[in-house]
Amino acid sequence: MRSLVREKAPHMLEETGLPGWSFADLYDSVTDARNDLAHSGTAAALADTRTAALAFVLLEALMTPNRSTTAGEIMVSNPVCAQGWQTLADVRRTMLMHDYSTLPFNPNGGGGSCERWVLVQAKDLGEHLLDDRDKRIGEALGASSIRLRTAQTACPGTPLEGLVRHVPVLVTDDGSEHGALLGIITAFDLL
């Protein structure tokens, strides 16, 4: 990680966004906090801000213009998905607990290949919670007009530049809406 920052974002070695902390200081502090967490937890209590600053420096290094970042490098692997057996209330609770506004959904179930991946969005789900709260999402889709959004998809090697305007993007093994889901890219992942 040190060589990545030195090569791709040398200006961030001393200006990390956290006054008085160089990249080396942040890296060492976060490493110590991680190691200490299993023991006393003292340094871990201070690690939150330092970890966020360290992550910002590393993201800056990864997003340099002289390097083409791909979907596979920035995606969130193994995303949480809505499942057909879940009630609408369960899906909404998952969204609230994790602060998600969109969940991938495979109408045919399973985690592998499917007929087509779609997106369930909180605003569309919210319209049906009062009437269909206890219905399973698979049943509610047939009985109501919950809107499922077509998912923009990409393969892991797709350059990020072409995807920025289409988030959320589902990353599948073959780049199609029918492939095995590998990850998701949301607007938050692009910050």
| Number of helices (H), then strands (E), in the chain | 8, 7
Q: What pLDDT, on the 0 to 100 scale, is given for residue 140?
A: 65
Fill in the amino acid letter for 150.
Answer: T
What is the count of structural domains for the chain? 2
| Other Cβ atoms closer than 10 A to 11 | 9
86 with 31, same domain? no
Placement of tokens 């809505």 in the chain: 82
Helix (H) or strand (E) segment spanning residue 77: strand 76-77
What is the rounded distance in angstroms from the CA atom of residue 55 to the CA atom of residue 62?
10
Residue 81: other Cβ atoms inside 10 A: 19
**83 and 138 both lie in a single domain:** yes
Output the pLDDT for position 66: 52
Compute and round to an integer the Cα radius of gyration of the chain: 20
CB 24 within 8 A of CB 2: yes
Q: What is the pLDDT of residue 23?
A: 87
Q: Do 76 and 101 share a structural domain? A: yes
What CATH number corresponds to the domain at position 133?
3.10.580.10
Residues 46, 122 within the same domain: no
User: Bridge partners of 150?
Assistant: 118
Domain boundary among 67, 101, 120: 67
Please indicate, yes or no, whether residues 36 and 130 belong to a single structural domain of this protein: no
CB 67 within 8 A of CB 4: no
- Closest by CA to 137, choosing from 97, 85, 95, 96, is 85
End residue of a domain, out of 35, 52, 67: 67
Range of the domain at 121: 72-190
Yes or no: say if 148 and 125 are a contact pair by the CB < 8 Å rule.
no
pLDDT of residue 4: 80
Taking the chain (191 residues) in consecutive chunks of 10 residues, what is each chunk's mean pLDDT? 81 83 85 64 61 79 67 90 87 89 82 73 81 71 72 92 87 93 87 67
DSSP 65: T
Which helix (H) or strand (E) is 94 found in, with range? helix 88-98
